[in-house]
Copies of this chain bind each other. A is one copy, B any other.
Amino acid sequence: MTIKLFDLIGADDARPFSPHCWKTMMSLAHKGLPYEREGVPFTEVPNVEDGISPIVPVIRDGSRIVADSFLIADYLEETYPDRPSLFGGEGGQAAARLVEGWSQTSLHPALGVIALLEIHDRLAPADQAYFRSSRESRMGKTLEQVTEGRAAEIAGFAARMQPLRHMLKSQLWIGGSEPLFADYIVFGALQWVRVTSTAQLLDAADPVAQWFERCLDLHDGLGRSVPAASA
């Protein structure tokens, strides 16, 4: 049975941009599991599957409903053990939680500033109002005030990728010789900005940029199937 994926969208359903939903799309493709996207704008997330989760991604696989990109990866690994592993064993599954910690605390805050207004501008009007009020209330600043830090975050972003750059001296993927869910965690963060923002974060010759290009090629070019944002 085809898995259903509830996936965050803006005004254009064909340009999914949520970093977490991208982790799940890559996970499903990695497992070779067919899935059908149902686009959900911000203001409709509370209605997904009768309000099962305050966040997307959510998947429905037969009678099972699972929310949260990491828990979905755990579920897929347990449910489809004969398909390619997302973790490469328990040690990889555990270490992916540190990769998530790094992505959430070191990459996402910077990327969120960089793409903030561009994300807003790509939403439908009702979602723009929700996005503005929820983010401004959380941050205690207007979207425009937060965005004053954009140029500095762009300038500093390449340095934030030093851990991955160092690792790439040893191997092609966080998963080693093949990509694993840990790669998709970091891929999701960069794809979020690739799809929403015109910011240029990395030089093409940067090993991190080359790793990202390899990610875009995976699974028949799934990530590349959504063109990069243009001005």
Which residues of A are at the interface with B, using a C-beta cutoff of 8 A?
85, 87-102, 104-106, 162-167, 170-171, 173-177, 180, 182
Contacts and interface: CB of A to CB of B under 8 A. Distances in A.
Contacts of A166: 100-101, 104-105
B92 A174 contact: no
Contacts of A170: 97
B91 A95 contact: yes
Given A89-B88, A89-B89, A90-B88, A95 B174 contact: yes
| Closest A-B pairs by Cβ, 6 of them | A91-B92, A89-B89, A88-B91, A94-B176, A101-B166, A95-B95
B163 A101 contact: yes
Contacts of A93: 91, 176
A73 to B, nearest CB: 12
B97 A96 contact: no
A174 B99 contact: no
A166 B90 CA distance: 19
A102 B180 contact: no
B106 A180 contact: no
Given A89-B92, A104-B163, 8 more contacts: A87-B91, A89-B89, A90-B176, A91-B180, A92-B92, A95-B98, A98-B99, A106-B162
Contacts of A171: 94, 97
Interface centre among A94, A167, A173 (most CB of B within 10 A): A94
Contacts of A97: 167, 170-171, 174, 176
Given A100-B167, A105-B162, A164-B101, A85 B94 contact: no
A91 B99 contact: no
